[in-house]
Chains A and B, each alone.
Chain A
Amino acid sequence: DAGVIQSPRHEVTEMGQEVTLRCKPISGHDYLFWYRQTMMRGLELLIYFNNNVPIDDSGMPEDRFSAKMPNASFSTLKIQPSEPRDSAVYFCASSLRTSGGVGSYEQYFGPGTRLTVT
């Protein structure tokens, strides 16, 4: 398995621009998570999906952030407009909960996207 794939690996943009981060989860996984990592705040959960449906977006910082999962193999995290304080590493992770409700719960992380907003 190729693991969780994220693109781009690095993104540098100017304040006010739109940024789109992309994620392909592990095939067959039914949960997808978006995290943000900064030195000041550590790892923060932004939003997660189950079977393509957003379940908890309470971690999304503000309306400038939006996430979609149009199908089981693709998700995007969009920031519009971007601000310097959005500079961070953004991780996508996926996990599988087997049928019957018993699952291992481990989350498998992608390599992350380092976003720099100048």
Chain B
Amino acid sequence: AQTVTQSQPEMSVQEAETVTLSCTYDTSESNYYLFWYKQPPSRQMILVIRQEAYKQQNATENRFSVNFQKAAKSFSLKISDSQLGDTAMYFCAFMTPAYGQNFVFGPGTRLSVLP
């Protein structure tokens, strides 16, 4: 079975500081994709960043970057210069084309950015 684990149910960070959210996954496949989604209080699910397993280079999107450790099956999200608008639930998701288009989501990490 493919699973996604987010071991930090809640985190907080001061505005302008950096925070890292953890995600680990389990799969026997070699071709897969990883995603981080953000869900603010509005409940809209917003794609933050994606990573292809075959790419060694870590993905970055402005203040968001990932640390992808394939051997360790780890996919952490780093948020730099945290802003109040980053307050949200963050979901790590995993998808293997061999298993169809299904996303497997982790349980989420609730991040609070404090002024």
A residues with a Cβ closer than 8 A to B are 31, 33, 42-43, 45, 48, 50, 55-56, 89, 91, 93, 95, 97, 104-109, 111-112, 114
Contact = CB atoms under 8 A, between A and B. Distances in A.
A106 to B, nearest CB: 5
B49 to A, nearest CB: 10
Contacts of A89: 43
Nearest to B102: A45
Contacts of B91: 43
Ordered nearest first, which 5 A-B pairs have the shortest CB separation? A109-B45, A43-B105, A105-B33, A42-B107, A112-B43
B47 interface: yes
A93 B45 contact: yes
Nearest to B101: A31
Given A55-B100, A55-B101, A106-B50, A42 B108 contact: yes
B44 A109 contact: yes
Nearest to B104: A45
8 contacts: A42-B108, A43-B91, A50-B101, A107-B47, A109-B44, A109-B45, A109-B46, A112-B44
Given A105-B33, A106-B50, A91 B100 contact: no
A48 B99 CA distance: 13
Q: Which of B33, B45, B101, B103 has the most CB of A within 10 A?
A: B101
B43 A111 contact: yes
A55 B99 CA distance: 11
B31 to A, nearest CB: 11
B88 interface: no
Interface string B10-38: 00000000000000000000000101010
Contact of B47 (A31, A42, A48, A108): A108
A107 B103 contact: yes
A105 B45 CA distance: 15
A75 to B, nearest CB: 15
B44 to A, nearest CB: 5
